[in-house]
Amino acid sequence: MIHLKTEREIDIMKESASIVGRTLAEVAKLIKPGIRCKTLDSVAETYIRDNGAVPSFKNYNGFPATLCISVNDVVVHGIPGQYELQEGDIVSVDCGAKKNGFHADYCYTFCVGHVAEEIRNLCDRTKQALYQGIEQAVEGNRIGDISNAIQTYVEKYGYSVVREMIGHGCGRNLHEGPEVPNYGFKGNGPKLKKGLVICIEPMVNLGRKEIKIEPDGWTTRTIDGLPSAHYEHMVAIRDKGTELISTYEYIEEVLNNR
C-alpha cells in the first residue's frame, strides 16, 4: 500500500529524520578500532529515547536491537554483539526512529581507521550511486528511473547490486509501498507523485551480487565473503519539489573534525 503524505506530515517526518541523523553522529564519534558493536547500539538507543522518540527497529519482527550494524561482508541486518571493530573494517550503521507517529530510517557506511583503497572506493561510489538515484526522484518520473540510475552507475565500476534487499516507502509504518529496487529499467514501476516519501538505499557488493542469510534469520552476508557498502536517504516529493528529508550533515561534521 502506498500512503501519500500531507505537507504537515512530511514536516513531522523531518523531525524523526533529524533524530536519526543526530543519533548516527553520536555513533560516528565512537567508531574506532576496539569499540564493541553492542556499545554503539546502547548509545544509539539512549540518544533516541532521550529525544522523545522510540527505536523503529527494536522488536520489529523480532529484531533484537536499535541499530543494524553490518561489518565488512555483512550486507544488512547485522545484530550488534560483542564484536570489536578492527582497523580496516567498514561498517554500515542503519538506524530508525519514530516520533509523533512517523518513522525515519536511513544508513551510513563508516571506515574504521585506515581502509584499503579498493574498499574505500566501494564506499565512495556506493554513496555517489545513492545521489545518482536521488537525482531521478522527481514528480512524474517512475521508480525504475531511480533503480536504473543506481545500477548503471555502480556496474560501470564492476560492482554488483544486491537484488533481494531494496528500498521502500516510509511513514506511519516503517516499511510501506512502493518497493524501490536498486536495479531495473527506466520507465518501469509506480509513478512518483506529490506526498510520496521513499527510502533509497543502494547495497553494493565488491564481488558477486548473491547473498546468504545466517541461521539467526537476520544477518545477511555476501556469498563470496567480499565487502558490501550501504547508504540510505529519505526523499519526499513535495509541493515545492523534491526534498531530502534525511541528512548526513551531523555525521559528516563529526568525521570532518577528526
pLDDT tens for 84-113 read 999 999 999 999 999 999 999 999 999 999
The residue type at 159? Y
Pairing of strands 74-76, 176-180: unpaired
Contacts of residue 46, defined as CB under 8 A and 6 or more positions apart, other chains included, come to: none
pLDDT tens for 56-69 read 999 999 999 999 99
* Closest among 184, 250, 204 to 25, alpha carbons compared: 250
Mean of all residue pLDDT scores within the chain:
98
| CA distance linking residue 239 with residue 252, whole number of Å | 29
* Closest among 172, 139, 168, 143 to 241, alpha carbons compared: 139
Residue 258 confidence class, pLDDT cut points 50, 70, 90: confident
Is residue 226 pLDDT above 90, yes or no?
Answer: yes
> By the 8 A CB rule, do 17 and 247 touch?
yes
| Nine-digit cell string for 210 | 548473491
Q: What are phi and psi of 48, to 5 degrees?
A: -60, -50
Question: 3-class DSSP state for residue 234?
Answer: strand
Q: Could you tell me the CA-to-CA distances from 108 to 96, 178, 195, 233 in Å, in that order? A: 12, 22, 25, 9
- Give Cα 226 distance to the centre of its chain: 19
| Nine-digit cell string for 8 | 504537515
Note if the pTM is more than 0.95. yes
- DSSP helix, strand, coil percent of the chain (3-state; round to 5): 30, 30, 40
* Closest among 118, 54, 119, 114 to 92, alpha carbons compared: 119
| Percent of residues, the chain, with pLDDT higher than 90 | 99
| CA distance linking residue 30 with residue 36, whole number of Å | 10
The residue type at 70? S
| CA distance linking residue 71 with residue 94, whole number of Å | 12
> By the 8 A CB rule, do 71 and 43 touch?
no
Is residue 131 pLDDT above 90, yes or no?
Answer: yes
Q: What are phi and psi of 123, to 5 degrees?
A: -65, -50
> By the 8 A CB rule, do 134 and 235 touch?
yes
Q: Count how many residues are written for the chain.
A: 258
- Can you list the domains of the chain with their CATH numbers? 7-256 (3.90.230.10)
